[in-house]
Amino acid sequence: MLAARHVVCALSGGVDSAVAALLLRRRGEAAVRPAARDAWDSEPAGVSGGRRPLRAGYQVTGVFMKNWDSLDEHGVCTADRDCEDAYKVCQILDIPFHQVSYVKEYWNDVFSDFLNEYERGRTPNPDIVCNKHIKFSCFYHYAVDNLAVKLLQAADSFKDQTFFLSQVSQDALRRTIFPLGGLTKDFVKKIAAENRLHHVLQKKESMGICFVGKRNFEHFILQYLQPRPGRFISIEDNTVLGTHKGWFLYTLGQRAKISGLREPWYVVEKDAAKGDVLVAPRTDHPALYRDLLRTSRVHWIAEEPPAALVRDKMMECHFRFRHQMALVPCVLTLNQDGTVWVTAVKAVRALALGQFAVFYKGGECLGSGKILRLGPSAYTLQKGKSRARASPEGPSEDPGPRPAP
């Protein structure tokens, strides 16, 4: 994963700021192509051994500050032409362009001080005052508050951690770097070997829930939660197949260990009120597949929903609810309370309440929301259609929730 270091480069329309933006842009390009550069950046011999790790890349935005309004004077102001030149620089470099106006702030904090000092017979330096009040106050806060850091997927898709970072705050990400985000695991091991860190190369990957470790999960949980015995029931014919120690011990999609049965059965639903766990006889049973869910209020990495989602109330993107699972194409429908309906293009297996739906678009992690409601399973919909065909008056019950158009 990469927290793209978002650099805001002030552009005056002159050569110095243009080249500064160019160099920042090139550094960003180098960082997102570690394979082409062998993940290292060249350095003159004798500086630090001739090679150094590639630095984190920059996502550059050019911003032109308008600090003087030509309408307030009778002379000539080149601000408009300078702004056009700054905009052209951004076009050439293919970076976003923004314009901000600090005419009022400049007048009150810089020019008024300039006049007052002259009126007192002093010789002021407005450039120092401008840096203090405009460039490193107004402009600085604009950059920090309005241009968000993006959370990008890592170069190594297998080790990408954006799924687990999808609830981290924008404020924290602004102060975070991920030095390995542009490297594959194999190259990380190569670096370790080249730097005599052999003792850590042989260690196994840390996987799963750290505080559970290799212990039996059921035994571990029952040390802290009271058992709540219940029944395993077939979803197809309501046959009682066995008993369990607590419905909370199971998650949808997992194999249910039912004493006395040799063939596998899989958890498809849980009835918290009765304590029953509903099971199906196949790992691909339609009761395991759903194409609709509703989340809690979504935590957006950028702190606000994507502009397209706000504007249209719907947006195409991808999501996943387990780490390393393939991304699923979907359509988000934004609700007034900040929650979203997620409609998968194709039904997915084993959606479960409490999991996080993590959203992606164009290699960027947008954020996530906890799954609080599930739509009907494919099995429930099939049964509803069968009843509708059997009844001349149509379906007798609503098959489940659907997002409003």
Catalytic annotation, residues? 130, 210
264 CB-near residues (< 8 Å, 6+ apart): 255, 281, 283
Q: How big is the CA angle at 321 (ends 146 and 222), to the nearest 5 degrees?
A: 120
CA dist 88 and 100 (Å) reads 16
Q: Which of 234, 270, 265 is nearest to 252 (CA)?
A: 270
- Angle CA 243–244–246, to nearest 5: 140
Q: Is 213 exposed, middle or buried (CB count within 10 Å of its CB: 0-12, 13-18, 19+)?
A: exposed
- In Å, the largest CA–CA distance within the chain is 100
Q: List the alpha helices (DSSP H) in 138-253.
A: 139-146, 162-165, 170-174, 185-194, 198-201, 217-221
Cα separation, 94 vs 80, whole angstroms: 21
Helices 15-31 and 79-93 meet at what angle, rounded to 10? 20
Residue 201 makes CB contacts below 8 A (sequence gap 6+) with 189, 192, 193
Closest CA relative to residue 151, chosen from 367, 365, 368 = 365
What is d(CA 263, CA 6) in angstroms, rounded to the nearest whole number?
55
Identify which of 19, 138, 7 has the alpha carbon closest to the alpha carbon of residue 86: 19
SS3 107: helix
216, burial (CB in 10 Å: exposed 0-12, middle 13-18, buried 19+): exposed
**Residue owning tokens 């994507």:** 306
In single-letter form, the type of residue at position 359 comes to F
Q: If you ran DSSP here, which 8-state letter would residue 349 be given? A: E
d(CA 126, CA 110): 6
